[in-house]
């Protein structure tokens, strides 16, 4: 499983973060005073045995907000052959959930929180149908996170 980042704002630093069972490559963290837009490519190639509908791996990234505003959106991969429930996990708890088909977006979530560092993840839950015959083995998509001033204009 991996997460790859494409940043649409000025890159001010390069950071590589490794976590158990989750590979994260971050290509840009803005200084706290700047608005930040980050896109993280998520690829979970094996949810882990025993296989169930709930994927055991939850890709998670760190983010920072000076204002306490974070806008999060997940888009399911175009290659999905069955629907999933995509759960946004914010600081360890489920913030929202949406049923997504291939290429669909969850509509985004505006999270008002305290200024500082936070963790944002995505958990996938499989839905029987298409290539899903009773368990979820792999999934992917794009996690977009906007902070501070960028949250005022919505996902864009």
The structural domains of the chain, with segments of one domain joined by +, span 2-153
Check residue 155 and give its pLDDT: 63
Check residue 119 and give its pLDDT: 98
111-131 b/e (C-beta count within 10 Å ≥ 16 → b): beeeeeebebbbbbbbbeeee
Which CATH entry fits the domain spanning 2-153: 3.40.50.970, 2.60.120.380, 3.40.50.920, 3.30.559.10? 2.60.120.380
Q: Which among 49, 50, 1, 8 is positioned nearest to 145, based on CA atoms?
A: 8
pLDDT band at 149 (very low <50, low <70, confident <90, very high): confident
Provide the 8-state DSSP code for 129: B
| 52: number of Cβ within 10 Å | 14
Provide the whole-model pTM. Answer: 0.78
Check residue 65 and give its pLDDT: 95
Give the model confidence (pLDDT) of 75-108 as tens digits.
999 999 999 999 999 999 999 999 999 999 999 9
In whole angstroms, give the CA distance from residue 76 to residue 99: 10
Check residue 36 and give its pLDDT: 86
The H or E element containing residue 11 is none
E strand segments, the chain: 2-7, 15-19, 22-26, 36-44, 60-65, 69-76, 84-90, 93-100, 109-112, 116-126, 139-147
């Amino acid at each position: 499983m991996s997460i790859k980042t494409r940043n649409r704002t000025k890159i001010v630093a390069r950071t590589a973060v490794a976590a158990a069972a989750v590979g994260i490559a971050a290509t840009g963290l803005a200084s706290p005073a700047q608005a930040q837009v980050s896109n993280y490519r998520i690829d979970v190639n094996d949810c882990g045995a025993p296989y169930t509908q709930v994927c055991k791996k939850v890709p998670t990234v760190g983010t920072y907000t000076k204002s306490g505003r974070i806008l999060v959106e997940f888009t399911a991969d175009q290659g999905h052959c069955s629907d999933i429930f995509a759960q946004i996990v914010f600081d360890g708890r489920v913030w929202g959930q949406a049923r997504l088909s291939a290429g669909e977006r969850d509509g985004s979530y505006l999270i008002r929180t305290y200024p500082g560092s936070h963790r944002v993840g995505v958990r996938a839950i499989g839905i029987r149908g298409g290539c899903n015959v009773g368990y979820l083995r792999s999934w992917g998509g794009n996690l977009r996170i906007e902070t501070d001033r960028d949250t005022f204009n919505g996902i864009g």
